[in-house]
């Protein structure tokens, strides 16, 4: 095969994701449904093709850490009826609910290379926000000692839409930091963007909690996946806005 073909990031993305997908099928992994695995393959090709291994690593770390966190206290959460469906196995809706905003940022890097540094920050911030949300939600449901509704600060049961806890909030900040530091480590953004991404993720999660507490039950189309897209978009736009204003 021509050497240029091997260097093409899109072909590399196809080969890497096909190889990993085949392994996932062989070992009968339970992190993704079959349809979710196909959509994850497509996502992986898009991210490798646009952002290379650096962007791909961020997605993989989000997915693996997020999946592990989702399984914390699974038996207790299932008994309480507040666990993720399918015991946390991700379907297509979960893949794109988590990654839609980041994928848009990655494609914008390809379309507008003159703004690539800004969209790199948006990409990192979107996954920083999503891992923060996952850690806050799952740790809060598993270990939150006191859970409050964000709009009234009244105590509510774990798993209530719009509820927050100290344990979940701290875990969310930690999750945001993991992706933000990784984004800096692989060279997608400068160190100054680390606290920006963490703060953007924190504020985006507050917005998501407000949406969950006030709007989600009133509007059936506001599914968890749609709310996830809103959440990651707020985080990405917030981080990009601060970076743009400071440039």
CA-to-CA separations, 139 to 125, 145, 231, 243, in angstroms, rounded: 21, 10, 18, 30
Question: Quick one: pLDDT at residue 31?
Answer: 83
Residue 3, judged by CB atoms within 10 A of its CB (0-12, 13-18, 19+), counts as exposed
Q: Domain count for the chain, please give it.
A: 1
pLDDT in tens, 93-120: 999 999 999 999 999 999 999 999 999 9
pLDDT band at 2 (very low <50, low <70, confident <90, very high): very low
- pLDDT on residue 239: 98
Rounded mean pLDDT of the chain?
91
Question: CA quadruple 122, 11, 42, 37: dihedral positive or negative?
Answer: negative
* Residue 199 within any structural domain of the chain: yes
* DSSP3 helix / strand / coil % (the chain, rounded to 5): 75, 5, 20
Contact assessment for residue 207 and residue 164, using Cβ atoms and an 8 Å cutoff: no
Phi, psi of 61 (to 5 degrees): -65, -45
Assigned domain for 13 exists: no
User: pLDDT category, 1, cuts 50, 70, 90?
Assistant: very low
Is 137 domain-assigned? yes
Q: Which domain holds residue 183?
A: 53-81+92-246
Lowest mean pLDDT among 39-43, 55-59, 217-221: 217-221
CB 178 within 8 A of CB 206: no
Rounded percentage of the chain residues whose pLDDT exceeds 70: 94
How far is Cα 197 from Cα 192, in angstroms, rounded to an integer? 9
Q: For residue 102, is it within any domain?
A: yes
Q: Apex CA 209: angle with CA 204 and CA 215, to 5°?
A: 115
- Look at residue 3 and tell me whether its pLDDT is greater than 60: no
Question: Interhelix angle for 224-246 vs 193-214, to 10°?
Answer: 140
| Residue 24 domain flag | no
């Amino acid at each position: 095969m021509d050497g240029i073909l091997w260097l093409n990031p899109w072909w590399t993305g196809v080969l890497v994701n096909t190889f990993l997908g085949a392994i996932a099928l062989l070992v009968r992994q339970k992190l993704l449904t079959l349809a979710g695995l196909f959509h994850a393959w497509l996502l992986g090709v898009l991210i490798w093709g646009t952002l290379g291994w650096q962007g791909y690593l961020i997605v993989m770390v989000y997915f693996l850490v997020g999946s592990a966190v989702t399984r914390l206290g699974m038996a207790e959460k299932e008994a309480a009826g507040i666990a993720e469906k399918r015991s946390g196995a991700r379907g297509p809706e979960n893949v794109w609910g988590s990654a839609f905003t980041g994928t848009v940022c990655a494609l914008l890097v390809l379309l507008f290379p003159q703004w690539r540094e800004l969209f790199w920050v948006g990409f990192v911030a979107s996954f920083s926000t999503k891992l923060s949300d996952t850690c806050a939600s799952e740790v809060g449901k598993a270990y939150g000692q006191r859970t409050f509704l964000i709009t009234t600060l009244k105590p509510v049961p774990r798993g209530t839409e719009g509820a927050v806890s100290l344990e979940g909030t701290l875990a969310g900040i930690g999750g945001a930091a993991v992706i933000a530091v990784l984004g800096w480590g692989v060279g997608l953004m400068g160190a100054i963007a680390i606290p920006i991404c963490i703060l953007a993720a924190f504020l985006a999660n507050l917005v998501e909690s407000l949406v969950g507490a006030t709007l989600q039950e009133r509007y059936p189309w506001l599914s968890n996946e749609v709310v996830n897209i809103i959440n990651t978009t707020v985080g990405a736009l917030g981080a990009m806005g601060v970076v743009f204003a400071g440039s």
